[in-house]
Amino acid sequence: MTTHYLDNAATTKSCNAAVKAMLRCLSEHYGNPSSLHREGLEAQKELDYAKAIIASALNCDTREIIFTSCATESTNMALKSTAAAYGKRRKKIVTSAVEHASVKKTLAFLSENDGFEIVEIKPDETGKYKAINFLNACDDNTVMISMMMVNNETGHVLPVKEVFNMVKRKFPHIITHCDAVQAFMKYSVNAGSLCADFISISGHKVHAAKGIGVLYVKKGSKIRPLILGGKQEMGLRAGTESVPLIAGFGAAVEVLSADIDKRFEYVKSLNILLREKLEQLESVRILSPIDASPYIISIIIPKIRSEIMLHYLEAKGIYVSSGSACSKGAGSGVPEIFGATSEEADSIIRISFSCENTMDDINALVDAIASGQRDIMHR
């Protein structure tokens, strides 16, 4: 049976370049990068090369890159470090109401355990975020603002660059953190022009392997390690580095960096085609706006629970999701914030593309949704 993988916001297939780099580091350059002999030096060269590639993609210095196990760890490190460094004097953190669980739960922890006031900004009635609302929520007591660039469930693009630049001009003391997981290698994520002090990114969202992430830390920012031990990663992330995963991440970024705009336009054409075909289906509603990231499109199939449709599509070799993979099927509340009713939120399907998807994937998906509407509703 032909399969059609359309769940790339959850994870992507590792590209050939990443697999090749990982295998090389497992079988040839397998030394510990902290070792002083030749094998250790070869491993350190692999690590340094990958760091240089990723730093170039973020337009930053290699000394501003810290390798972590995932973007969730990166985010925890950024938020908890900022709270620890500045939290005695300032107790307000501003964020959006649609953040990933790694941000939401970390901020909830800081609120419950350290007394931080968490201010969540919601979009307007059209689902749009206005930068001025974030600025107006900030004051002299604000320690940090944390915003995602692209929402992982609907693809809504948040005005991070505009917000961070406005905030830094009026309140230069406020620390800025961006979850760029669904934006990195799809949009320009330039650390300098973004005015970000911290940026979280993940390897397995960009055709590298699971288990590797990066935290960008602007030079001069106060940062504290979550994991204590050796002097790896400038003493900020102890533990022997996973050179194979790091090398794979670097290789994937190197390949993708060559044609970001070309891939974006190709995926956009797939997104437009899918929208045109979905509009021909009875009662299907597209939740993601036309100006959302073309890589993610969430739809509502009324009166059919997401789980039921997911399994129906899976039986036909089509793989999608009902929302964030991290929620494991539990409702996040994000669809409702962007205008879905609670009943509609239980009928959402998230389709997410990579440049490996084709028109055949779209045709198979739309045909299967149409037959699913008939078959499931008439059981």
Do 277 and 351 form a contact (C-beta atoms < 8 A)?
Answer: no
Cα(285)–Cα(139) distance, integer angstroms: 39
- The burial of 198, by beta-carbon neighbours within 10 Å (0-12 exposed, 13-18 middle, 19 or more buried), is given as buried
How far apart, in Å, are the Cα atoms of 205 and each of 115, 187, 325?
34, 13, 12
User: Which residues are catalytically annotated?
Assistant: 326
Name, in order, each residue with C-beta under 8 angstroms of 60's C-beta and a sequence gap of 6 or more.
Answer: 191, 192, 216, 218
Residue entry with tokens 């690590």: 47
- State both tokens at 319: 């793989």
Do 362 and 275 form a contact (C-beta atoms < 8 A)?
Answer: no
Sequential DSSP letters for 216-268: EE-TT-----SS-SS-TGGGTS-S---HHHHHHHHHHHHHHHTTHHHHHHHHH
